[in-house]
Structure formats: C-alpha cells, structure tokens
Amino acid sequence: MQITKHSVASIEYTLTDDGGQVIDTSEGRGPLVYLHGAGNLIPGLESQLEGKAVGDEFQSRIEPADAYGERDDRMVQDVPRAQLPAEVDVTVGMQFQAQGPAGVQVVTVVGVEGDTVKMDGNHPLAGVTLNFDVKVVEVREATAEEVEHGHVHGAGGHQH
Ligand code: ZN
C-alpha cells in the first residue's frame, strides 16, 4: 500500500541541519504516525512521502521555503519587561506562548536589556535547511473519523 491522501503513515526519521547537528529524531521514541494530505507535516516532507510504501528509505534536503519558512526580521520585537510575568526570571533562550494573528505562536527571548526584552517570533527552524533521513515503517487507511478530524487517533496520535 502506498502513501496517498488520507493514508496514515508511520515513519522513522532523523532530522539534521547542514552542519550535521541532529535537530530531531524518532529514535528511542518510536515512529511518527501522521495523517497524510492534511498538512500535518511540513510541505517539503509530505510531498516526498507521496507514493512511498513500507520499507522505503530516502534522504531529502528541504529548503526553508518548503519547511518552516524564511526568517522575518520584522518578527523580532522589543517588549517592555512589564508585559511579561513578574515572577519569571527572563533569560535569553526562554520561550513563551503568545496569541498572534495566526493563533498561538511561540516567541523566543533573544536579548534582555534593562527594562526591554527582545522577542523573536520566528519559528526556531525558520531559515534552516532541513536534511531528513526517512524510513516508512507502516501504512494504513485512515478511518472516516480521522479524516474528519484531520489527525491520527490511537497509538502515536490523539487520545480522545
Ligand atoms: Zn480526533
């Protein structure tokens, strides 16, 4: 069975940057189970998986435009310290969830200067070229309910 729209596929993967640094991997955690064709993966990886079958292994180099997008310097903003929780010791690298125009957005503290905190709303992987090493380990048809919800149920998916 091949991966196509509304397949549920399980994949083992390792993701590295161009320097060979591992960013993410399914190793030790079990395969990623996802509903194909529902925008659950970055576009560059989902299109590579189309038509693949159990046992297929491949490497894919995905440019930022087909992954988490290019960095946008306008998303780096100075925020008054007073807008952040007083009880939190704000340090560089810390992440907050903020309500943005496109829903919940993760912002990262990239600088603290006096009463001003520099926040970066870019995805941490924006501007990064991704190198995937992928193996397809299972493919099945999605249930009608999974298609309706747009995500996978059961092991590796939503438990509800
Ligand atoms: Zn659901």
**What is the average pLDDT value for the chain, to the nearest integer?**
94
For residue 152, the model assigns a pLDDT of 95
* pLDDT reading at 114 higher than 80: yes
* pLDDT reading at 103 higher than 80: no
Separation of 85 CA from ligand 1 center, angstroms?
A: 33
Given a contact cutoff of 8 angstroms between Cβ atoms, the answer to whether 42 and 126 are in contact is: no
Tell me, yes or no, whether 61 and 135 share the same domain.
yes
* Residue 160 placed within a domain: no
Residues 123/125/129/130 CA torsion (nearest 10 deg)? -120
Separation of 88 CA from ligand 1 center, angstroms?
A: 35
Tell me, yes or no, whether 20 and 38 share the same domain.
yes
Tell me, yes or no, whether 11 and 63 share the same domain.
yes
Separation of 42 CA from ligand 1 center, angstroms?
A: 20
Separation of 148 CA from ligand 1 center, angstroms?
A: 8
Tell me, yes or no, whether 79 and 52 share the same domain.
no
0.75 surpassed by pTM: yes
Partnered with residue 20 across adjacent β-strands are: none
Please compute the mean of the pLDDT values over residues 29-42 and round it to a whole number. Answer: 95
Nearest-angstrom CA–CA distance, 142 and 132: 24
